[in-house]
Amino acid sequence: MKTVYTAPKLLSLGDNGIKDFLSVADYLPQLRLVQLTGVPVRIELNKDKYVEVNSEEEEIDLSAYNKIFEELFGFFYGTAYLYGFVDNNKLSVYDVFTNDNYFSTRDLLMLEAEYKLPIVKPIAEGTFTFAYLIEVLNKKINGEKLDWDTFHLLPSVYVDDNRTYPKAAEPKVESKVILGEKKTYTPTTYYYNSSSTANNAASNTTASTTAVTDVGKTAKNKNDEIFVEIFKDSDKKARQQIFDETLKNVNAYVKSMGDTLTEEQRTWFTKNGKFFTYLYSILTLPETRDIVYDYCVTYVLNWTEYAKPIEVKWAYLFVDLFKEMFSNLMEQKKVTIEGKTYDMVALFFKEEFIEFDKFFVKETNKADDWRYGENLGYGGIY
């Protein structure tokens, strides 16, 4: 599963900042202490060649940096996000995110040297102890009468970080395009229409892509609460992208199984694969995974399933979740959950569930892990 990452709307500090100064010595070996003042902004350099600014204030003038932004279009392969602060119309960038990675300090300095992008200069950088950090802050704050809340500790080099802090709440932001043209995009959210033919199931084991319907419109008309929550918390373009990517990956995995599939399995996937891919994909966005995690808390896995592989456990949970949360849509489209549905979903979505499990481990409290043992979901591992 390749998850479409949704960058924080305004600040990356909630995700990347080191919050526990007392344990600073236990964190990444290279850190940077920065001071950030002014109005926070997120500047999106979209791959479609437009610049969009998010901020808490509507009137932010960054026209002085338009030439830099235009030149940066040639540097970034895809969409990039610049996180910074604007003070008296002067921009200072402290984080850059693109291609599923944050830039290191060296990368930031390269952008400053090559493109004149103003980068926040660290007050101190390196390996910190709590005593040293407090000494530096005391000198800086007491000497210049500065606000403690303006100081932040960030990694200098981004590596695989296993911190499990909850995401910080984003403030309400204003958004406006300041350079280029943002085209209006209203993607159709696709899912399998049960009226589509499945006569070629034996020769072409691919979830149908020909018969599609706007499930979003259907869901809103039926006022399904789960769709209301998903649509409220996620972006249409992100839902379209993650569906397309997930369907491509699932189809490729099914194709790789070749002649090992039975006629029944091929027929089931051709008929149902796209529908279940849609339901699964819209629940795996960063904004919607909490819906699954919350469901895990109330999901007590029967002890007889304790020894089953992790992808089977996730298949059972997701199918039960689909049955409970998308019942109206299933009834309308005459899609039923049968005993074999669990095994089919486990078979065809095996790689997806293995990848999703990694997100679950990283993003949730392991003490409440539902996957192991009896009586889970109410207080941890027994």
The answer on 358 and 238 residing in a single domain is: yes
8 Å CB contact between 88 and 208: no
Rounded distance between C-alpha atoms, residue 339 and residue 10, angstroms: 45
Report which residue type is found at 46: N
The answer on 150 and 94 residing in a single domain is: yes
Report which residue type is found at 62: L
The answer on 165 and 237 residing in a single domain is: no
The answer on 360 and 272 residing in a single domain is: yes
The answer on 96 and 226 residing in a single domain is: no
* pLDDT number for residue 267: 93
Handedness of CA 56, 61, 64, 65 (dihedral sign): positive
The answer on 175 and 27 residing in a single domain is: yes
* pLDDT number for residue 268: 94
**Considering its fold, how many domains does the chain have in total?**
2
Q: Other CB atoms closer than 10 Å to residue 254's CB: what's the count?
A: 21
The answer on 224 and 175 residing in a single domain is: no
The answer on 168 and 104 residing in a single domain is: yes
The answer on 163 and 20 residing in a single domain is: yes
Domain assignment of residue 110, given as a range: 13-179
* pLDDT number for residue 85: 94
The answer on 21 and 138 residing in a single domain is: yes
* pLDDT number for residue 380: 32
Order across the sheet with 151-155: list the strands: 124-126, 31-35, 151-155
* pLDDT number for residue 136: 79
Question: Which of 133, 167, 175 has its CA nearest to residue 12?
Answer: 167
CATH number for the domain that contains residue 137? 3.30.470
Residue for token pair 């437009």: 50
Collapsed DSSP state (helix, strand, coil) of residue 32 = strand
Report which residue type is found at 302: N
* pLDDT number for residue 221: 37
240 in any annotated domain: yes
* pLDDT number for residue 213: 37
377 in any annotated domain: no
The answer on 123 and 251 residing in a single domain is: no
List average pLDDT for each run of 10 residues in the chain, which is 382 residues long: 58 74 70 89 89 84 93 87 92 88 86 94 83 78 68 72 43 69 42 31 45 40 59 79 91 91 93 92 86 72 57 88 85 85 93 88 67 44 30
8 Å CB contact between 152 and 34: yes
The answer on 248 and 144 residing in a single domain is: no
pTM over 0.85: no
* pLDDT number for residue 171: 58
